[in-house]
Amino acid sequence: MAQPLDLYLAAPRGFCAGVDRAIKIVEMALEKWGAPVYVRHEIVHNRFVVDGLRDKGAVFVDELEECPTDRPVIFSAHGVPKSVPIEAEGRNMLYVDATCPLVSKVHIEAARHYENGLQMVMIGHRGHPEVIGTMGQLPEGEVILVETPADVAEISPRDPSKLAYITQTTLSVDDTAEIVETLQARFPQIIGPHKEDICYATTNRQAAVKAMASKIDALLVIGAPNSSNSRRLVEVGSREGCSYSQLVQRAADIDWRALDGIRSVGITAGASAPEVLVEEVIAAFRERYDVTEKLVETAKEDVEFKVPRVLRQQVSA
Ligand code: 10D
Ligand code: SF4
């Protein structure tokens, strides 16, 4: 007889509206213009998604200079520095920007603060493409990056009375609140968004993990190692008391020996992880255990973003 196991499934989990839109953009571009269509950076941080699009004719590159000028190029959902579309225009290239509208919102916020004469503090992870893209909206030196509360003590803004803060969209809600508090304590005049710029999808996925944490012995987060929002879900699991909280890209990555003796497992997926991989993981549990599925739903999501007009025209034609 197979061991009984409670499998708690987080909702919401997996694809967010920005990821859905970005993948659609690549698929529709391939339909409209044929292969190859170039994509600067992984369209979203998931190997399974990227491999699937590559099979359909997408070519993934790190930099624009790797693209020929006679093929379309798509910018990834994470956003790009201002210099990238400028370079594309300079080379007369056809480009489609798949930056998530919620990332673009932060770009616009940064530009507005800059026009109002404010210097910016960005809370984010150094080297992440979204951070590079957002900081790259403004001239060098206009955005100071902080990653931790300790960093706040180290920065030397031009004029502490003329400061604003912005954040990466996929951060830990709790860590960010702590950094914001530290910023406000050191710079009481700092201007910020209503709360932070963390998006609805990041917030909802972290809340669902918190809600299931007391019920589970282990948490598996389906997502890629370079996916910021997925890694934050693993951290939430550990902090909420799951002694085993792990990132897995798909079922083959599960360390079954580490789960030995465990009676309840939570499953969630980062915003860039497709539901087929969740189903694959559930099926793998069903093969080994007598599984009872339990849904932990903390929010319903109905956000949808339109694809850019240039691709919509093709659909209605
Ligand atoms: O690393 P990440 O969480 O920023 O990106 P990922 O592609 O995993 O998920 C989608 C999130 C985006 C595009 C940033 F908002
Ligand atoms: Fe947009 Fe949030 Fe999804 Fe990032 S995680 S693509 S900001 S909806």
Dihedral (Cα; 95, 98, 103, 104), 10-degree rounding: 40
Helix (H) or strand (E) holding 270: none
For residue range 18-40, list pLDDT tens digits in order: 999 999 999 999 999 999 999 99
What is the rounded distance in angstroms from the CA atom of residue 121 to the CA atom of residue 57? 40
**44 CA closest ligand 2 atom index:** 6
So what's the pLDDT on residue 196? 76
For residue 149, pLDDT beyond 50: yes
User: Are the folds of 3-15+200-297 and 17-100 the same?
Assistant: no
So what's the pLDDT on residue 313? 75
Q: Does domain 17-100 have CATH number 3.40.30.10?
A: no
Backbone angles phi, psi at 246, to 5 degrees: -135, 150
What is the rounded distance in angstroms from the CA atom of residue 78 to the CA atom of residue 250? 23
Q: What is the DSSP string of 61-91?
A: ESSGGGS-TTS-EEE-TT---THHHHHHHHT
Q: 130 CA to middle of ligand 1, Å?
A: 8
For residue range 75-127, list pLDDT tens digits in order: 999 999 999 999 999 999 999 999 999 999 999 999 999 999 999 999 999 99
Q: Does domain 3-15+200-297 have CATH number 3.40.50.720?
A: no
Q: Which of 36, 8, 21, 68 is nearest to 209 (CA)?
A: 8
> pTM for the full model?
0.97
Q: In which band, very low, low, confident or very high, does the pLDDT at 141 lie, cut at 50, 70 and 90?
A: very high
Mean pLDDT of all residues in 59-85 = 98
Q: What is the DSSP string of 225-241?
A: TT-HHHHHHHHHHHHTT
Mean pLDDT of all residues in 120-142 = 98
Residue 169 CB–ligand 1 contact under 6 Å:
yes
What is the rounded distance in angstroms from the CA atom of residue 94 to the CA atom of residue 208? 40
- Spatial neighbors of 181 by CB under 8 A, at least 6 apart, are none
Residue 171 CB–ligand 2 contact under 6 Å:
no
Q: In which band, very low, low, confident or very high, does the pLDDT at 317 lie, cut at 50, 70 and 90?
A: very low
For residue 314, pLDDT beyond 70: no
Residue 134 CB–ligand 2 contact under 6 Å:
no
What is the rounded distance in angstroms from the CA atom of residue 133 to the CA atom of residue 79? 5
Q: 222 CA to middle of ligand 1, Å?
A: 13
Sheet of 37-40, strands arranged across: 58-61, 37-40, 73-75, 95-97
Q: Which residue reads 């839109």 in tokens? A: 21
For residue 272, pLDDT beyond 90: yes
Query: Among all residues, which ones are annotated catalytic?
Result: 130
DSSP H stretches of helix in the chain: 17-33, 47-55, 83-90, 101-115, 129-135, 149-154, 173-186, 200-213, 228-239, 275-288, 309-316
For residue 316, pLDDT beyond 60: no
**168 CA closest ligand 1 atom index:** 15
So what's the pLDDT on residue 281? 99
- DSSP for residue 160: T
Residue 134 CB–ligand 1 contact under 6 Å:
no
Averaged pLDDT score across all residues of the chain: 97
Residue 229 CB–ligand 2 contact under 6 Å:
yes
What is the rounded distance in angstroms from the CA atom of residue 47 to the CA atom of residue 68? 24
For residue range 213-259, list pLDDT tens digits in order: 999 999 999 999 999 999 999 999 999 999 999 999 999 999 999 99
Q: 263 CA to middle of ligand 1, Å?
A: 32
Q: Which of 5, 27, 19 is nearest to 269 (CA)?
A: 19
Domain spanning 102-186 has what CATH number?
Answer: 3.40.1010.20
Q: 128 CA to middle of ligand 1, Å?
A: 9
User: Domains of the chain: which residue ranges?
Assistant: 3-15+200-297, 17-100, 102-186
**103 CA closest ligand 2 atom index:** 7
